[in-house]
Structure 1
Amino acid sequence: MSYQFLQLEQQDQVAYIWLNRPELHNAFNTIVIEELHACFNTLNNRDDIRVVVLAGRGKSFSAGADLNWMKQAGQASSAENEADALKLAEMLHALATLKQPTIARVHGVAFGGGMGLASACDICIASHEAKFATSEVRLGLAPSTISPYVIRAIGERQASRYFLTAERISAIEAKQIGLAHEVTDAEHLDQKVQDVIDALLLGGPHAQAASKQLIQMVSKQPMSDVLLQQTAHHIAQVRHGAEAKEGLNAFLNKQQPAWISNSNNNN
């Protein structure tokens, strides 16, 4: 599948999605959003892809929304405006619910929707020069569609500050507040991403998909009999699967499970 503003590369079991609008710091417009959504849906149906890395060409990860596109959307009718915003919300949801583990490789700026992309990924690895911001209020806007993922990443208390001030967040601060998992020098960014990929490939793909679903299921829920039942049902279903049986047998027999053996054979 060809894209106008994306590059999709596959290296063994890893898919790299490169935002490719460097002259505009990989800002969103309708086409970028549609292409990202289509790409995520395609990868979600690919059993040969184990990890998805989201990155940006040029000097930035993503500066967020293209302001000309946002201006045009604001001048449209209320129904058209809402339909346009829903496309962005659905794209972010497709990223957040991908069955594969996702890594945001962040360098340069990740502002507005760019910070939303980084937050919607499971793991965020940033270079020291990276900067984040929910910059919407300085444009008279609100970080509406990205808010579920940013709040999930940094919590309500930190969101109360950064949603309202739109302050720039350094990479070190991003790690301190839970947005970035790792911060490294620019020259070591790809190696740090590879280290995390290597760790992810040791896990069972179905188990990882189930673990992602588990986080969504239990997050913010109070401890209750219903939650106990849900988690018991979840592990029972996972444990009954072929992958769990393979993994347990391999461990007890001091062998590598099939998903690791297959990965080694592909290298």
Structure 2
Amino acid sequence: MSYRYITLTIAQQVATLTLNRPEVHNAFDDVMIAELLDALAQVERDDSARVLVLRSKGRNFSAGADLGWMRSMAEKNYDENIADAGELAQLMAQLDTLSKPTIAVVQGAAFGGAVGLAACSDIVIAEPGASFCLSEVKIGLIPAVISPYVMRAIGARQSRRYMLTAERFDAEQAQAMGLVHSISSDTDSCLEDFLAAFHANSPAAVSACKELIAAVEQQPDVHAQQQLTIERIAHIRVSAEGQEGLSAFLEKRRPHWIKDSQ
């Protein structure tokens, strides 16, 4: 599939997915959402891609939903809006559950649905001047589809403030609330540090760890949670990469996945 609004490159075990509509501040519409869904599916299937980096061209990360697209949806009926919202929901879920670690690099403004993209990423790096805004109520809408991910990232209490007021908040506040992990004036260098960490780790273990985090978070029963964790550690211990990692540690050598990454 050739893309109109995004680019996808895979090199040196890193997939880089770039929003490429700088002329409209990388606002997304149904076309971009479909392209992002396709690109994420490609990354999921490609064994050569161990990490996904999500970034964008231009001054701003993303202005969120394209207003022209939103205007067109307002003219459609309820069932058409259900189908359209379902595509955005699928995008958020697909990014959130990608089996490979994801890193979002945010510059400038990240508004509306773009905050959702950040919240669905495993790690968020932001420039010092980055700003965030859950702006939906300003135009008579609500951040419905992204709300589970944003609320998980910043908590219900802070969501009450920023979803209801549509205030803009800076990178420091985003970090304090848990949305942003690192703030750096040299985001490329910061990104390289994270990539180096991922390249040193077992790809299978990283994937299993992502699944573990989601499963534990979603299992409220303590006894079921305990059994889940017992089964997960037993499974990974007898797996090929689990065996290789333990053997490499005991034999004081590098595991094969580090050699493969060089």
Report the CA distance between 1:14 and its aligned residue.
Answer: 0.4
- In the alignment, the residues of structure 2 paired with residue 220 and residue 97 of structure 1 have an alpha-carbon distance, to the nearest angstrom, of 13
Deviations 1:42-83 (A, max 9, x none): 110111101100001011111100011011112101000110
Aligned ranges 1:121-160 → 2 under 5 Å: 121-160=121-160
Report the CA distance between 1:10 and its aligned residue.
Answer: 2.2
* Correspondence for 2:187 among 171, 184, 189: 189
The residue identity in structure 1 corresponding to 2:141 is L
- In the alignment, the residues of structure 2 paired with residue 221 and residue 81 of structure 1 have an alpha-carbon distance, to the nearest angstrom, of 32
Determine the structure 1 residue equivalent to 2:215.
217
RMSD, aligned CA: 1.0
Determine the structure 2 residue equivalent to 1:6.
6
Report the CA distance between 1:223 and its aligned residue.
Answer: 5.2
TM-score by length of 2: 0.98
Deviations 1:12-41 (A, max 9, x none): 100111100000000010100000000001
**Where do 4+ consecutive residues of structure 1 move more than 6 Å?**
none
Deviations 1:61-111 (A, max 9, x none): 111000110111121010001100000000111111111100000001110
The residue identity in structure 1 corresponding to 2:250 is L
- Percent identical among aligned pairs is 47
Report the CA distance between 1:154 and its aligned residue.
Answer: 0.7
TM-score by length of 1: 0.96
- In the alignment, the residues of structure 2 paired with residue 92 and residue 28 of structure 1 have an alpha-carbon distance, to the nearest angstrom, of 13
Unaligned runs of 5+ in 2: none
- In the alignment, the residues of structure 2 paired with residue 198 and residue 217 of structure 1 have an alpha-carbon distance, to the nearest angstrom, of 27
**More off after superposition, 219-228 vs 110-119:** 219-228
Determine the structure 1 residue equivalent to 2:55.
55
Structure 2 counterpart SS, 1:219: helix
- In the alignment, the residues of structure 2 paired with residue 165 and residue 146 of structure 1 have an alpha-carbon distance, to the nearest angstrom, of 16
Unaligned runs of 5+ in 1: none
Determine the structure 2 residue equivalent to 1:260.
258
- In the alignment, the residues of structure 2 paired with residue 110 and residue 64 of structure 1 have an alpha-carbon distance, to the nearest angstrom, of 7
Structure 2 counterpart SS, 1:58: coil
Deviations 1:119-138 (A, max 9, x none): 11100000001111111011
Structure 1 counterpart SS, 2:86: helix
- In the alignment, the residues of structure 2 paired with residue 23 and residue 32 of structure 1 have an alpha-carbon distance, to the nearest angstrom, of 14
Structure 2 counterpart SS, 1:197: helix
